[in-house]
Amino acid sequence: MPHCVVCAITSGQLEAHVVFENRHIVCFLDHMPINEGHILLCPREHLADITDLPDGLLAELMLAAKALANKLQGCLKCDGVSLLQNNGRFNELGHFHLHLFPRFQDDGFSWVSRGSRLAGREALARVDDLLRNAGD
Ligand SMILES: [Zn+2]
């Protein structure tokens, strides 16, 4: 069995509830959902971070997210959906995966749980300048 749990699922060696798949991507239910209906969208190939993905593969994953978001909203009558993707040391699986999960009023999930605050104009301008000068 592959060392990577996502590769074990995409190769069929580990069971999962696959909700969509094609030659390049596999989408399955997260066994530790933030909300019921939480889906992980993954490339079949073992690629770690968003910067490793060819543009066409990334586009394919986002189009699958769009289609699955539409299905979630239709099937689960959720109030919306959220997308989340972690990289580097925050990629807990080591294999690229895009989280898509339904949202419900008062579900308790919050993007500001760690105390996000308004950034000052100077801070915004500094980061803006860094990004503009970073090149492609
Ligand atoms: Zn993998």
Q: What's the pLDDT tens digit per position in 42-97? A: 999 999 999 999 999 999 999 999 999 999 999 999 999 999 999 999 999 999 99
Q: Which of 3, 17, 38, 99 is catalytic?
A: 99
- The answer to whether residue 31 is catalytic is no
In a domain, 11, yes or no: yes
Indicate which CATH number applies to the domain containing 13.
3.30.428.10
Q: What value does the mean pLDDT of the chain take?
A: 92
Distance 86 CA to ligand 1 centre (A): 15
Distance CA(11)–CA(86), nearest Å, equals 22
In a domain, 123, yes or no: no
In a domain, 37, yes or no: yes
State mean pLDDT over 6-12.
93
Distance 10 CA to ligand 1 centre (A): 8
In a domain, 117, yes or no: no
In a domain, 26, yes or no: yes
Instruction: Give the number of domains in the chain.
Output: 1
Return the structure tokens found at 97: 């995966």
In a domain, 55, yes or no: yes
Task: Give the structural domain span for 12.
Answer: 5-107
Q: What is the DSSP annotation of 73-108?
A: HHHH--SEEEEE---GGG-TTSS--EEEEEE-TT--
In a domain, 115, yes or no: no
Closest CA relative to residue 61, chosen from 26, 28, 19, 92: 26
